[in-house]
Amino acid sequence: MSPTTPGVARPARLLIVDDSALVRQILARELGAAEGIDVVGTATDPYAARDLVVELQPDVLTLDLEMPRMDGITFLRKLMRHHPLPVIVVSSLTAEGSALAIEALDAGAVDVLAKPGPSYSVGDMAAQLAERVIAVRGMRVEARTAAPVRRLAMTRTTDRVVAIGASIGGTHALHEVLAAMPADGPGIVIAQHMPEHFTAAFAGRLRETCAIDVREAKDGDTVTAGRALIAPGNRHLVLRRQGAVYHVEVRSGPLVAGHRPSIDVLFKSVARYAGANAVGVLMTGMGHDGASGLQAMHEAGARAIAQDEATSVVFGMAREAVRLGVVDEVVPLQRIAERVLAAAQA
């Protein structure tokens, strides 16, 4: 804690919000040693932060964006409505000028700062952050009483979601794509038209020959790097997000586009909850399931890939998506994994 010097304004009371214990420790140490700053508390997530804001009445708050249970943008919007105060976003995702930095400012942050990287040390960041904390202390922040725009997908997250849809010829095609994925590849969700009771065995067979963990999806499974979740036969698979963590729900429901699981159901949930953080792949299969879902993903900012006619057993679903003009790339089966990885790393 910085001491108060007679005749000098009291130190800025700072609350640090970050789910990383190491980051909280470093920021508390570095900023607590800075003249004019009193670190009054730290919080592991927005729910803990909410209570501490009321209890500690900080002058300034630093906020990470990727946290469990509630992401930083959602919390920031709530805070600006109910208890506005100067917030400085500190995140690895907010490089100056990035889309997420602009979104954070739009949500009410007074400043954004990137976490240390290869050319940006902890010392550099701490010094800049200390200056900004002192500068914004006492800044008048107006409450945002208007209802915010309902945004379920963050502009950007560290993790990417790959959504794949396939039908006739898809079992072989999926094997080719998944076998080419590295063990630390992006999380994958899959809707393959397949009868009930067949998908568990299919996932098990893929798991034996792939570097990634392939499994039949269960309700509540998280979508993480190195894992592929296949929709159970006769059940729809949908993506959800809690904080910055993606998970799936397995549910019943009517046939959609003539199918259960439906690719459209999966893709539209990915568009809603992952947005531009996703890559959509529509592969071999008859009919039109998946085309409107891929359109929704494309419109939400996701990269859209379709398997080409030459390597498709049936060029039906992918053809429909191409006809709609929502496909960014049409590639042969052998190149799908390569293009997915490139898109996920962009």
| Cα gap 143→245, rounded to integer Å | 29
Mean pLDDT of 285-301: 94
Is 308 inside any structural domain? yes
pTM assigned to the model: 0.67
* Residues 77 and 203 both lie in one domain: no
pLDDT at 153: 57
Tell which residue, 45, 5, 2, has the closest CA to residue 24. Answer: 45
Is 153 inside any structural domain? no
Mean pLDDT of 265-269: 95
* Residues 264 and 323 both lie in one domain: yes
Domain residues for 99? 12-136
Q: Which residue out of 59, 64, 193, 312 is catalytically annotated?
A: 193
* Residues 330 and 196 both lie in one domain: yes
Q: 28 is written with which tokens?
A: 């508390």
* 80: pLDDT strictly greater than 60: yes
Per-residue burial over 49-72, b if 16 or more Cβ lie within 10 Å, else e, is bbebbeeeebbbbbbbbbbebbbb
Q: Which residue out of 19, 59, 71, 167 is catalytically annotated?
A: 167
Domain count for the chain, please give it. Answer: 2
Q: 27 is written with which tokens?
A: 């920021």
pLDDT at 98: 55
Share of the chain above pLDDT 70, in %: 88
* Residues 233 and 296 both lie in one domain: yes
* Residues 192 and 284 both lie in one domain: yes
* 3: pLDDT strictly greater than 50: no
Is 299 inside any structural domain? yes
Is 85 inside any structural domain? yes
Tell which residue, 280, 288, 276, 287, has the closest CA to residue 328. Answer: 280
Is 200 inside any structural domain? yes
* Residues 101 and 246 both lie in one domain: no
| 289 has catalytic annotation | yes
pLDDT, the chain, mean: 87
Higher pLDDT pick, 213 / 151: 213
Q: Which residue out of 19, 45, 71, 289 is catalytically annotated?
A: 289
Tell which residue, 53, 50, 26, has the closest CA to residue 40. Answer: 53
pLDDT tens by residue, 208-225: 999 999 999 999 999 999
* Residues 47 and 170 both lie in one domain: no
CATH number at residue 299: 3.40.50.180
pLDDT tens by residue, 25-43: 999 999 999 999 999 999 9
| 167 has catalytic annotation | yes
* Residues 211 and 276 both lie in one domain: yes
Distance from first CA to last CA of the chain, Å, rounded? 42
- Band (pLDDT 50/70/90 cuts) for residue 159 is confident
Q: SS3 string of 10-78? A: CCEEEEEECCCHHHHHHHHHHHHCCCCEEEEEEECCHHHHHHHHHHHCCCEEEECCCCECCCHHHHHHH
* 95: pLDDT strictly greater than 90: no
